[in-house]
Amino acid sequence: MKEQRVTPDLETEAQDPEVVQLITELRHQIALRDEFISTAAHELRNPISPAYMQLEHIKETVQSSTAPIAKDWLVRQLDAMTSRFDRFLETLNRLLDASRLGEGHLLLLPERCSLVAVTRAVLAASAHELEVSCCQIDLEVPDEPVIGWWDPLRLEQIIGNLLSNASRYGAGHPISIRITATAEAAELRVRDHGIGIAPADLARIFQRFERASNVGRSAGFGIGLWLVAELCRVMGGKIAVESTIGEGATFTITLPRMS
């Protein structure tokens, strides 16, 4: 008699609560992966497409012009293209950092630096974004520079992500940044007055590819706050959040001042 192979009945298997939970989680992870891939493709394409069109415009202008090309015009065109490629490279670097952190291969280069100085530098670099979002900055810092042993590039990423998050979801409202310090640790608090975060989402937003349920289809990979939390962790610090729906959110990072 020929041996018959028994195939598990998925419907029967699914009656097991643990199996149902596992299947639900796997489906959720697949959905997050697919959304991330779609968002990544969109974010990478955004700066490249107009840069390519602008390059075509420059080429056509040079080929068809019978008069010398004005230097000022050409410089403006190239500056705009450079800005778009800078955005493209920034996006790639964020993806690479997410990959390195996920694999535990992120390299830190700590040095003696000022949290206040780094924060001011990030604000200066974000001036255009803040102007577009109509967010006024209220910066409160101590008289001392707040020196610590940190990786300045990673500090910039932490502060930049928190600031970008605050301006995106709190557009049109002021953002307050407060830096305090003790002998052992420094604290940076970023407070926005935007849409806020639901209590059920407060822990989930620090997971990779996750976003709050009330942000809709807002642009972003869903890795910004995860990166902030992971960078704080690898530097020996932590992040906390407090929020009320409709009243904004306050993100607080705490970092030890010495390694």
Say yes or no: 39 and 60 in one domain. Answer: yes
Is pLDDT of 201 > 80? yes
pLDDT in tens, 32-72: 565 556 556 656 666 677 777 878 888 888 888 888 888 88
Q: Of the candidates 103, 137, 166, which is a domain's last residue?
A: 103
148 phi-psi bin (left φ>0, alpha ψ -120 to 50, beta other): beta
The answer as to whether 4 is a domain residue is: no
The answer as to whether 131 is a domain residue is: yes
Class of residue 121 by CB neighbours under 10 A (exposed 0-12, middle 13-18, buried 19+): middle
| Least confident span in 22-36, 100-114, 122-136, 143-157 | 22-36
Q: Of the candidates 53, 78, 103, which is a domain's last residue?
A: 103
Say yes or no: 241 and 116 in one domain. Answer: yes
Say yes or no: 115 and 67 in one domain. Answer: no
The answer as to whether 12 is a domain residue is: no
pLDDT score of 6? 47
Which residue range forms the structural domain that includes residue 210?
Answer: 111-256
**Pairing relation of β-strands 238-243 and 249-256?**
antiparallel
Say yes or no: 122 and 199 in one domain. Answer: yes
Residue 108 C-beta-side C-alpha neighbours within 13 Å: 18
Say yes or no: 213 and 129 in one domain. Answer: yes
Q: What is the pTM of this model?
A: 0.63
Say yes or no: 44 and 93 in one domain. Answer: yes
Say yes or no: 200 and 140 in one domain. Answer: yes
Say yes or no: 126 and 252 in one domain. Answer: yes
Residues present in the chain in total = 259
Say yes or no: 91 and 174 in one domain. Answer: no
The answer as to whether 184 is a domain residue is: yes
Domain at 224, CATH number: 3.30.565.10
The answer as to whether 27 is a domain residue is: yes
Distance between CA 38 and CA 218 in Å, rounded?
13
**How many domains, in total, are found in the chain?**
2
pLDDT in tens, 135-151: 999 999 999 889 999 98
Is pLDDT of 85 > 90? no
Domain at 64, CATH number: 1.10.287.130
Q: Report residue 93's pLDDT band, with 50, 70 and 90 as the boundaries.
A: confident
Alpha helices in the chain (DSSP H): 10-13, 17-64, 71-103, 115-125, 127-132, 152-169, 224-234
